[in-house]
Structure 1
Amino acid sequence: MAALLTSVMGNTPKVGQYIQDCKRMGIEVLPPDINKSYSTFTVEEGKIRFGLAAVKNVGVNMIETMVQTRKEKGEFISFSDFCQKVDAKDLNKRAVESLIKCGAFDSLKIYRAQLMGVYESLLDSINQDKRRKIQGQLGLFDMTGDTSFSFKKDPLPNIKEFDDKIKLNMEKEILGLYISGHPLAEFQQELKYFTSMNSSTINEIMENPQETEHKDGEKIIVGGMVLEKVTKTTRNNKLMAFIVLEDLLGTMECIIFPNIFSQHMDLIQEGNLIIIEGTLSLKDEENPKILTNTIKPLTKMQTQKLYIKIKEKSDMVLLHKAKNICKKYHGNVPLYIYIEKDNKVLRADRDLWVKLNHDLIQELSQIFGKESVKIK
């Protein structure tokens, strides 16, 4: 799998898809690390270590120098030690900032927030010291008489670490994907239940349009986070939008026409989590798109569940009487039907999930009996 990831290093959506495949197979993908990573993706104790060549702004020369320095002088014990050991001509602030943001120094037990505050001044001080040594002058760190000791500990500000959202956004900026987590990770179950298609399937359609079973105009449901939004004024002077929706596997394009846009302007802001019901647009020589029909917020499913007990399958006719009640109290609580005779449980369609309240329970109890309507 490491070789497969390396083969698609320049294709961020593919890398993201394969990383998700690894997770599904129980293979952990480790973040970039200055003491463990190489240029390519590598296998490390049955896990896969992220390749440094996939880190934005980090050049091949710098990677080769880092790996060779690590081999000759041992692992880096601090950020200062890293800056002191690696040849100054291969170090640049932009590359070092990228390594900080993607978490490559995390194993040194240093907060990214601390390094972001001091890396430029530390890098400048150490590079100046290197120049002094070349010129035969007494360097700043030579004054201690023990150069190795001088770099064991970094002079870091006493500040808190960035919150998880900021760290994940940094990873996305530098790696093109999230590696230590994902803003949608806690909604994985909801996306599984609420949607009928994901970005991976849409990307497969794009790569193999002749082999797909999906059709132009097909009704689909997708969900995720609004990554980008561009608005456009139509000939009728009305606003519409083009958005990039990101799920756990990648991104997809959605078109929101004026009538839908005017109804849901508040929902389609960047960073919002939404569910879109629409139609799949498959046109020759165009990337697949989703034409939006309805937009809803993506919310957590309730931990509670509503159960209705019936004696046997023939009693399913009673559910037709309950449909309007469930739709009247529509919500995010799953509805389950327990068939007593068969000892079987069925989950109702998402459209029949409910919002729990006293009136709902009363109305359902009138049809099925008080003892047959339970919340668990």
Structure 2
Amino acid sequence: MTVCKNRGIAVLSPDVNYSMQDFSVDGKSIRFGFGGIRNMGSYGELIIEERDQNGLFTSLYNFIERMSISHGINRRRIEALIYSGALDSFPGTRQEKLNMIDVFTGIASIAKGDRDNGTKSLLSTSLFTPMYDKFFTLTGAREMSEKLRLEKEREYTGFYVSGHPLNEYESVFKNPSIKNFYSIQQILPNSIDSEDGVEEDIVFENAFDGEMVRIAGVVQELEVRETKSHQLMANIVIEDVSASVKGIIFPTIYSQNVHRLKNGEVLAFYGKIEVSEFGTQFLVNGIETMDELMTPDSVANLTLYLDSDLSEARYEFEELMNIFEKSDTPNRIPVTIVMGGKTYSTRQGKAILGNTKLATIIKLQELLGRNSVQVQY
């Protein structure tokens, strides 16, 4: 997955209509395979068999009915397919699909019994199949949070496929002081003079070995252990959008930040890169929240691009000013507004000032779109 992303090759979510048992080529992309989904095992081969024999699946109920009749699919596998995103192409959110499993498997069981007995009941007729998809509108279920959706997706596939928890922090990661994990683990060739001073030898080394750097990512694994002196320290695995890296947090730093260190938390770490025969690891010297990275001292300007339609742009302008005015953080960052092809940095003769608190940035992204909010460092 990491290699594909860093080479610009898209990895597509699993899909009951297009996935194979293993990872496969889909156009210029790679399609996630059934075999990579937790609890599926070789069952994906039966999905492919049904699909090849009777055509693509047309809805969640159509999938459950056909797989129940032909290969006895169970709830555990349906849940795995929902959480992994393999049923996203059908109507309904993932939460709505989870809520409908028992209803649809119950109806499918009746249909299977009727087929086995050579009879046909009202519920099992194809006339009512389109009606089952409309049940989604009756559940009233709200979609699970983005954080939970991605956590479940990673739990069942081992990866974030359809998105990443760090996407909303994109503006933070443009800070040049933050290094991505893929780059700090690269082993590159370097020329050195040979002992006789005539020829050059090529050695492979990590350019960041021994360097103090700042990184940021999601805490994926946290193992707390006790030292011989009965102090607590931790081994940690941190992941950004490019790769993951192992780190060590020694007792002093751990005790100062124990309240911040939780699985799933997004944090910034300052420390030393150490390369050994066991690979690259990160020795943590300090931990910061993402808000602490976005200080007035580190940010030069905030540029906001408004809608090309002037009436819509005026609405957006008033809304973003309300966001700044209602913020509990002092507005000290110069703001540049791009509207109707013109650039504005003052309002009624006064400089437009904002702040780069993450809550503010996220609200601005929701209002204007992620690409319309740019932070200059």
Q: If the TM-score is normalised by the length of the shorter chain, which range does it land in?
A: 0.5 to 0.7
Q: CA deviation at 1:195?
A: 4.5
Deviations 1:229-265 (A, max 9, x none): 2222222222212221111123211111111122222
Identity among equivalent positions (%) equals 27
Match of 2:63 in 1: 82
User: Could you say if the C-alpha distance between residues 272 and 84 of structure 1 is closer, same or farther in structure 2, counting changes exceeding 3 Å?
Assistant: closer
**1:96-175 counterparts in 2 under 5 A?**
96-139=78-121, 141-142=123-124, 147-154=125-132, 155-156=135-136, 157-175=139-157
Determine which of 285, 289, 296 is the counterpart of 1:293.
285
User: Could you say if the C-alpha distance between residues 67 and 225 of structure 1 is closer, same or farther in structure 2, counting changes exceeding 3 Å?
Assistant: same
- The answer to whether the 8 Å contact 1:114/1:161 transfers is yes
User: Could you say if the C-alpha distance between residues 17 and 137 of structure 1 is closer, same or farther in structure 2, counting changes exceeding 3 Å?
Assistant: same
Match of 2:46 in 1: 65
| Structure 1 length-normalised TM | 0.67
Q: CA deviation at 1:172?
A: 0.9
Q: CA deviation at 1:39?
A: 2.7
Whichever structure has more strand as a proportion of its residues is: 2
User: Could you say if the C-alpha distance between residues 149 and 199 of structure 1 is closer, same or farther in structure 2, counting changes exceeding 3 Å?
Assistant: farther
Q: CA deviation at 1:99?
A: 0.7
Letter of the 2:255 counterpart = S
**1:316-355 counterparts in 2 under 5 A?**
331-334=297-300
User: Could you say if the C-alpha distance between residues 140 and 19 of structure 1 is closer, same or farther in structure 2, counting changes exceeding 3 Å?
Assistant: farther
Q: What are the ranges of 5 or more consecutive residues in structure 1 without an aligned counterpart? A: 1-14, 303-328, 337-354, 359-372
Q: CA deviation at 1:108?
A: 1.2
Residue 227 (structure 1) aligned with residue 205 (structure 2): no
**1:350-361 counterparts in 2 under 5 A?**
357=332
Residue 16 (structure 1) aligned with residue 8 (structure 2): no
Q: CA deviation at 1:201?
A: 3.8
- The answer to whether the 8 Å contact 2:178/2:216 transfers is no
User: Could you say if the C-alpha distance between residues 90 and 330 of structure 1 is closer, same or farther in structure 2, counting changes exceeding 3 Å?
Assistant: same
CA distance in structure 2 between the aligned counterparts of 1:113 and 1:186, rounded to whole angstroms: 22
Deviations 1:16-60 (A, max 9, x none): 3413432xxxx5443222223233444445444333332222233
Q: Which stretch has the larger CA shift, 92-101 or 263-272?
A: 263-272
Letter of the 2:35 counterpart = A
Query: In structure 2, the residue corresponding to 1:333 is in which secondary structure?
Result: coil
User: Could you say if the C-alpha distance between residues 213 and 299 of structure 1 is closer, same or farther in structure 2, counting changes exceeding 3 Å?
Assistant: same
Q: CA deviation at 1:129?
A: 3.2
Deviations 1:129-167 (A, max 9, x none): 31342133544634xxxx333322424423122222221
CA distance in structure 2 between the aligned counterparts of 1:128 and 1:201, rounded to whole angstroms: 56
User: Could you say if the C-alpha distance between residues 230 and 194 of structure 1 is closer, same or farther in structure 2, counting changes exceeding 3 Å?
Assistant: farther
Letter of the 1:129 counterpart = A
User: Could you say if the C-alpha distance between residues 112 and 32 of structure 1 is closer, same or farther in structure 2, counting changes exceeding 3 Å?
Assistant: same
Deviations 1:264-288 (A, max 9, x none): 222323232222111122233x242
- The answer to whether the 8 Å contact 1:301/1:333 transfers is no
CA distance in structure 1 between the aligned counterparts of 2:285 and 2:46, rounded to whole angstroms: 53
Aligned residue pairs total 291
| Structure 2 length-normalised TM | 0.67
- The answer to whether the 8 Å contact 2:186/2:206 transfers is no
- The answer to whether the 8 Å contact 2:65/2:111 transfers is no
CA distance in structure 2 between the aligned counterparts of 1:212 and 1:88, rounded to whole angstroms: 56
For the aligned residue pairs, the C-alpha RMSD in angstroms reads 3.3
User: Could you say if the C-alpha distance between residues 153 and 138 of structure 1 is closer, same or farther in structure 2, counting changes exceeding 3 Å?
Assistant: closer
Q: Which stretch has the larger CA shift, 173-182 or 122-131?
A: 122-131
Match of 2:249 in 1: 256
Letter of the 2:230 counterpart = N
- The answer to whether the 8 Å contact 1:223/1:276 transfers is yes
Query: In structure 1, the residue corresponding to 2:276 is in which secondary structure?
Result: coil
Match of 2:371 in 1: none
Q: CA deviation at 1:298?
A: 1.9
